[in-house]
Structure 1
Amino acid sequence: MVEITRRNFLGAIGVGAGGLAAGGTLAGCTGSGTAGESGTDFAMPTFQAAPELEIEPFHTSDTPGMQNVYTEQVTTFFKSVDREPGSGGTVTSFQLTWGEPSDPLEENQYWQELNERLGVSFEPTFVPQPTFDQKFSTMLASGEVPDLVFVNDQSAVNLQGIRDGAFADLSDVLAGDNILEWPNLAARKEEIWRASLKDGRIYQVPSTVWAITSLIAMRTDLLEQTGIGTAPTDADQLLTVLREVTALGTGPGGQPVYGVSKYDPPMWRWIFKTGPDWRLGDDGGLVFVAQTEEYRQMLTWLANAWDEGVFDPVAMTANPADIVSGSGLQYRSVTDSFTALGFTQNEMDTPGAKMDFFDVPGYDGTAPVITRNVPYGRSTCVSAAAAEDEDRLVEILNVLDYLSAPYGSEEALFIGSGIEG
């Protein structure tokens, strides 16, 4: 029997990891902006929340933009796509890949099943991250733009494709209630669409993204040995804690330890309340973060902390393999805390280690300032040439809508996990 290579295939096409716009918001109210309210010459796409999950959230937040936290697995799945499969034609894509290439279609049962469910022959072109911009330029220059193209709008090379007209203006197609034809794409709030506009128009279908994707973790077994403990209340107490952790020399398993092993700027920017990269000044102009008093205070504190020896001497390295010491505090991704690589694995790998989340203090004893992510993640554009055929455009958007199925749906279960057995 041929092995199902769902993991390799998904790693290549990026489904579920953001290579194509994927996922939907889990909660919220419906509604749409009008042309006058949105400041554009079209109605912003109507927001339609995905169906509620059958399980209750473990934690909810009153902070705008924060998602619910679930500790139970969904066992009953809803159908998010209620339409006939496609016409049997071909839909192509140009996608960033972080993983190994998938097995060829003829050897890949997962890919074959995906085509069956989509009703089209899905033909992706996988491009490794190191060469993506170069290949992107070559693709644009060829004039042969695939139907669906991953576009990193933080890249000038990628943005050039929008400026040059290679991708379709989807503003009118997705405006107002029009988007309800694609319910999984409609599960994006107005702030997500608005943040991704280019020249006030929709050229990208943005993916949803968590408001916060990283956090600060601590080794409680180390911090508990300090005079202040696991809850310093300001920058002075924090420096004392880190100094005393470094003074321990080694952890319970004999590993050398420092207050901080790796320098991660966001952690310190939260503590010193520097806020986003740009802010409005008193004169109405933009002020860059490095020009602020908070940033100066942060640099002064960090320079002193470095002199105090609370950082591993290789903490500024670009090569993670250089860091072999343990760390009192760590800045790490949310998924790196909860998955198989998370806290439990850390504790198994380091005898005596105990991991927990760190309650971040503001430098002056008040609350920290945590800057949320840009409201949208990686985006997908549609070829302008393909969009000239209305029926073909609908079929392309149908494929993208299927791949954007939210957690808890039958479609997302298949995309993420394949078929049992």
Structure 2
Amino acid sequence: MTQVPSRQFRPSRRTTFGLGATAVALTGLAACGSSGGAGSGGFEEQDVALPTYVEPPVPDGGIASEVEGMPMIFTAPIAEYFTSVEEPPGGGEDLTTFQVLWGAPPRPRDKNDYWQKLEERLNVTFTPTLTAADGYNDKFSTTIASGSVPDLSFVQDTDAIGQRALSDGAFADLSEVLSGDNVLAWPNLANVSTNAWKVSSKNGHIYGVPNENPFLTNFPLVRADLMRLAGHESMGSTAEEWLQVMTDIAGLGQAHGKKFWGMATIAGNEQAMFEWMFRAGTTWQLDDSGKVTNVLMTDAFEQVMEFEKKLWDAGVVHPDGIGGELGDLFTTGQLALTIDSFNGFFGNPIIGQVVDSTPEAEPEFFVPPAFDGGDIVIQRDDGYWGIVAISAEAAEDEKRLQELLGVINYWRAPFGSEEALFIGSGTEGVNYEFGPDHEVVGLGDEQADADRAALQWLGAFNSPIYSIKATLSDYVDNFKTTMEQLVSSTVPNPVAGIVAPSAATLNAKLDTLNEDYRNGFITGRRPLSELQAYRDAWLSGGGQTLCDEFTEALDKAS
């Protein structure tokens, strides 16, 4: 079985693109301009009916969930692929694109099977501009400044440079053509979730098709065998019970012939999990007056710091877990608990590796308990990562606009379709063959696979899915039940899709401050009585500036 490989290595927005050197003033979010058609500048407020949502088809064997934001699960290969696009969308013209290049450049068209087949399927002459991620912003900026904007571009629209390009009218305003039932002319675009359209729109303006994310990307896994060896049948129903379970697990010290620890560290994903448990809320949130504030300012954050200090004192965390380089101790069977993504657990796969290294291991997904036994609160992923936008110039021709939307519609064909199989896996006999159970088996032609990988990443793929290999099928029920509970506990980030101009220069400084104080609290190097000093230093060090910029942006958008 296969899915679009790009999802398996989609990097964080902050680590790959970050914020460009050119900061757009947030007043641009409400800049004056015309209120409608292709190429209109500015993000002046307007009411628009978000595109109608149609659930993607469920191929035979797919496990769909009624929980919003929970991807479909597949545990067996697709037996029969369906057709989602009846006719090639292009009219024989040139198609220019601006795309991220994640690996090696492709071979020229005349030596590249994927390139040739893509052109046949789209009925276009495909001419992409491929730019490596580390130089993407600079190249994007110069391309826009040149005035020669490709027909289709992947735009990181929460980045300052991307927002400038949108507000300056380089790309078409697609609000009218895609609003409401109009989107049904492109059925695969109608599969984009309402949440993704909402968070990617700008004051009611739709400037592109969002690259959709699941509501939750990282979640915890525990060694249930160690939990039971420590005398427990669950991870507890309150935070204090959870702490006791982890303390007892860590107290074992050794099991199955291996020395192990409870957790590797308390940072990043672990910090987020403890904030779930104490209902700290989203990183950026609104106070009682409607102004944006940071989770650092909440009472719950102080409770989290106190709890993490208890974990450290109880010996749950590896002694080198603060600032040390530990490697992947979980896969070698030396950690009781880890937090990772679906692709880490099932694609890497961490689950298979830990069981291979430690046959007695019994990995189990779980829902962390709230501090008081009530509900947890999880910050939802922003819901999308960038958009595929159409140049304003190309969209001036109505027929051309329809064709370009048709191209994106093809690229976003749903999982289980013949089109998605081609986009994600290439050509049968060149990139893959079907195995005895109709599974997709790569042929190992590294050059052919590199050709495909270089061209396929337009930036709008089918709705997220979870594909679990047959060898890991025993974990499906536990995974599905746990994930549905976790996804149901997510809440949206109130500043999703908004960029604070000063973040580009302030984030690194504030990250260093956060690391120093938080690690100090956890290890006892700093007393918790210094929390107010931490808050004051964070505000004066740029935190207040970011709060104010987010508040201003939200005020202009309301």
1:409 aligned to 2:413? Answer: no
For 1:48-59, what aligned pairs fall within 5 Å after superposition? 48-55=54-61, 57=63
Q: CA deviation at 1:419?
A: 3.1
Query: 1:246 aligns to what?
Result: 250
More displaced, 93-102 or 110-119? 93-102
For 1:264-343, what aligned pairs fall within 5 Å after superposition? 264=269, 265-317=271-323, 321=327, 326-343=334-351
Structure 2: distance between partners of 1:267 and 1:98: 30
Greater fraction helix: 2
For 1:141-160, what aligned pairs fall within 5 Å after superposition? 141-160=145-164
For 1:46-85, what aligned pairs fall within 5 Å after superposition? 46-55=52-61, 57=63, 60-61=65-66, 63-85=67-89
AA in 2 matched with 1:93: T
1:384 aligned to 2:392? Answer: yes
AA in 2 matched with 1:352: E
Structure 1: distance between partners of 2:426 and 2:138: 33
Tell whether the 8 Å contact from 1:273 to 1:368 is kept in structure 2 after alignment: yes
Query: 1:115 aligns to what?
Result: 119
Q: CA deviation at 1:322?
A: 7.9
Tell whether the 8 Å contact from 2:230 to 2:252 is kept in structure 1 after alignment: no
1:102 equivalent among 106, 121, 126: 106
Tell whether the 8 Å contact from 1:93 to 1:146 is kept in structure 2 after alignment: yes
Structure 2: distance between partners of 1:288 and 1:83: 50
Tell whether the 8 Å contact from 2:53 to 2:193 is kept in structure 1 after alignment: yes
Gaps of 5+ in 2: 12-44, 430-558
Structure 1: distance between partners of 2:148 and 2:357: 50
Tell whether the 8 Å contact from 2:100 to 2:154 is kept in structure 1 after alignment: yes
Tell whether the 8 Å contact from 1:314 to 1:322 is kept in structure 2 after alignment: no
Identity in percent: 38
Structure 2: distance between partners of 1:345 and 1:387: 50
For 1:180-195, what aligned pairs fall within 5 Å after superposition? 180-195=184-199
Structure 1: distance between partners of 2:115 and 2:7: 12
Q: Secondary structure at the match of 2:50?
A: coil
Q: CA deviation at 1:66?
A: 2.6
Query: 1:34 aligns to what?
Result: none
Tell whether the 8 Å contact from 1:179 to 1:186 is kept in structure 2 after alignment: yes
- Residues 247 and 16 (structure 1), Cα distance of their counterparts in 2 relative to 1, 3 Å cut: closer
- Residues 388 and 56 (structure 1), Cα distance of their counterparts in 2 relative to 1, 3 Å cut: closer
Q: Secondary structure at the match of 2:261?
A: strand
AA in 2 matched with 1:174: L
Structure 1: distance between partners of 2:328 and 2:343: 23
Tell whether the 8 Å contact from 1:18 to 1:377 is kept in structure 2 after alignment: no
More displaced, 110-119 or 128-137? 128-137
- Superposed CA deviations along residues 110-160 of structure 1, whole A, max 9, x for unmatched, are 222111111112222222222222222222233222221112233222222
Query: 2:90 aligns to what?
Result: 86
- Residues 163 and 328 (structure 1), Cα distance of their counterparts in 2 relative to 1, 3 Å cut: same
Tell whether the 8 Å contact from 2:90 to 2:404 is kept in structure 1 after alignment: no
1:212 equivalent among 203, 211, 216: 216
Q: Secondary structure at the match of 1:270?
A: helix
- Residues 418 and 225 (structure 1), Cα distance of their counterparts in 2 relative to 1, 3 Å cut: same
- Residues 367 and 178 (structure 1), Cα distance of their counterparts in 2 relative to 1, 3 Å cut: closer
Q: Secondary structure at the match of 1:206?
A: strand
- Superposed CA deviations along residues 197-232 of structure 1, whole A, max 9, x for unmatched, are 113211121123222222111122322222335422
CA RMSD, 1 decimal: 3.0
- Residues 315 and 388 (structure 1), Cα distance of their counterparts in 2 relative to 1, 3 Å cut: farther
Gaps of 5+ in 1: 1-5, 20-38
Tell whether the 8 Å contact from 1:86 to 1:395 is kept in structure 2 after alignment: yes
Q: CA deviation at 1:251?
A: 4.5
AA in 1 matched with 2:382: V
Q: Secondary structure at the match of 1:77?
A: coil
- Superposed CA deviations along residues 315-364 of structure 1, whole A, max 9, x for unmatched, are 35596748687321111101222225241233113453331212321122
- Residues 18 and 252 (structure 1), Cα distance of their counterparts in 2 relative to 1, 3 Å cut: closer
Count of residues in Structure 1 that have an aligned counterpart in Structure 2: 391
Structure 2: distance between partners of 1:323 and 1:16: 22
Query: 1:259 aligns to what?
Result: 262
Tell whether the 8 Å contact from 1:145 to 1:383 is kept in structure 2 after alignment: yes
- Residues 317 and 164 (structure 1), Cα distance of their counterparts in 2 relative to 1, 3 Å cut: farther
Tell whether the 8 Å contact from 2:89 to 2:410 is kept in structure 1 after alignment: no
- Residues 319 and 189 (structure 1), Cα distance of their counterparts in 2 relative to 1, 3 Å cut: same
Q: CA deviation at 1:412?
A: 0.9
Q: CA deviation at 1:271?
A: 1.6
Structure 2: distance between partners of 1:178 and 1:158: 26
- Residues 289 and 76 (structure 1), Cα distance of their counterparts in 2 relative to 1, 3 Å cut: same
AA in 2 matched with 1:196: S
